[in-house]
């Protein structure tokens, strides 16, 4: 039997989602607690990697069991009691045996949050930007991302990506209130460090360090060294992962 888990996590204390030697990760903690609950070694496969310190408002993973889980709601309750406070499971639901949390995802959406005023209550989850920033100009630059497919200019050097081709379908800054904004970007896939590199380069545009034409040129040079610095991880949230209807059909609404 295969089950999907819908969860969220604060990534501050973790070295990303994926298991790695000598580092605490979300996948490691979740797999360990699930194995104790099911009383058998249980591997959990996630929707994709997240960088160290990156958060997830919505995240999906899957795991297999030999026997059917009779009460998923009770399992959610018991699992949450075992998990630390910075990881929460919202739902566990059965799916087809060949459904895959990573490979079946059709899109992923990230948000990057900033505050243009110093604020002790948003400091942990928003990046503070103190320089005057032209958000209209940044949105004009971001629209160009929908017209290109090769994002190697925003891929961390040395990454093991088989391809740097991505299809971005949404890229726009939104205002929350007088001082806070977030960047929303959706694509079929993302490269390692891609969103943080894009945001950092957009800030170069918004702060008038580079022109729109220079931004377009950076995108098309396919050279990470030409793009701007990656912004800090704390403002980045995986906000949504979408699947074909039949995969999520049994999820509670």
pLDDT value at 252 more than 80: no
How far apart, in whole angstroms, are the C-alpha atoms of residue 2 and residue 99?
A: 8
How far apart, in whole angstroms, are the C-alpha atoms of residue 100 and residue 73?
A: 21
Annotated catalytic residue within 43, 51, 71, 104: 51
How far apart, in whole angstroms, are the C-alpha atoms of residue 181 and residue 190?
A: 22
Same fold, 2-104 and 107-239: yes
- Is residue 223 part of the annotated active site? The answer reads no
Q: What is the pLDDT of residue 157?
A: 72
Q: Where are the domains of the chain?
A: 2-104, 107-239
pLDDT, one tens digit per residue, over 36-67 is: 999 999 999 999 999 999 999 999 999 999 99
How far apart, in whole angstroms, are the C-alpha atoms of residue 96 and residue 58?
A: 21
Q: Which two tokens stand for residue 98?
A: 């060949």
What's the whole-number mean pLDDT along residues 198-215? Answer: 97
Domain 2-104 adopts which CATH fold?
Answer: Alpha-Beta Plaits (3.30.70)
How far apart, in whole angstroms, are the C-alpha atoms of residue 104 and residue 99?
A: 7
Torsion of CA 204, 206, 158, 152, to 10 degrees: -120
Which of helix, strand or coil describes residue 143? helix
Cα 132 to the chain's mean position, in Å? 27
Class of domain 107-239: alpha beta
Q: What percent of the chain has pLDDT over 90?
A: 90
245: confidence class by pLDDT, cuts 50, 70, 90: low
Q: Backbone phi, then psi, for 91, in 5-degree steps?
A: -160, 150
CA distances 167 to 69, 133, 241, Å, are 37, 27, 15
């Amino acid at each position: 039997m295969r089950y999907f888990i819908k969860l969220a996590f604060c990534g501050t204390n973790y070295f990303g989602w994926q298991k790695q030697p000598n580092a605490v990760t979300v996948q490691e903690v979740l797999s360990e607690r699930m194995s104790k609950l099911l009383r058998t070694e249980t591997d959990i496969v996630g929707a994709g990697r997240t960088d160290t310190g990156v958060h997830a408002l919505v995240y999906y993973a899957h795991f297999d069991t030999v026997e059917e889980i009779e009460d998923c709601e009770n399992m959610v309750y018991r699992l949450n009691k075992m998990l630390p406070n910075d990881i929460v499971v919202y739902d566990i639901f059965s799916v087809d045996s060949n459904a895959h949390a990573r490979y079946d995802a059709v899109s992923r959406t990230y948000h990057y949050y900033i505050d243009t005023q110093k604020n002790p209550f948003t400091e942990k989850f928003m990046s503070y930007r103190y320089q005057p920033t032209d958000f209209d100009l940044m949105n004009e630059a971001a629209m160009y991302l929908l017209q290109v497919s090769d994002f190697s200019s925003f891929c961390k050097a040395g990454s093991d990506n088989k391809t740097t081709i991505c299809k971005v379908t949404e890229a726009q800054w939104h205002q929350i209130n007088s001082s806070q904004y977030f960047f929303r970007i959706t694509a079929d896939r993302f490269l390692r460090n891609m969103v943080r590199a894009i945001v950092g380069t957009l800030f170069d545009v918004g702060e008038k360090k580079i022109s729109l034409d220079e931004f377009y040129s950076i995108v098309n040079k396919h050279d990470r060294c030409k793009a701007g610095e990656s912004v800090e991880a704390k403002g980045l949230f995986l906000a949504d992962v979408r699947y074909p209807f039949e995969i999520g059909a049994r999820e509670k609404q």
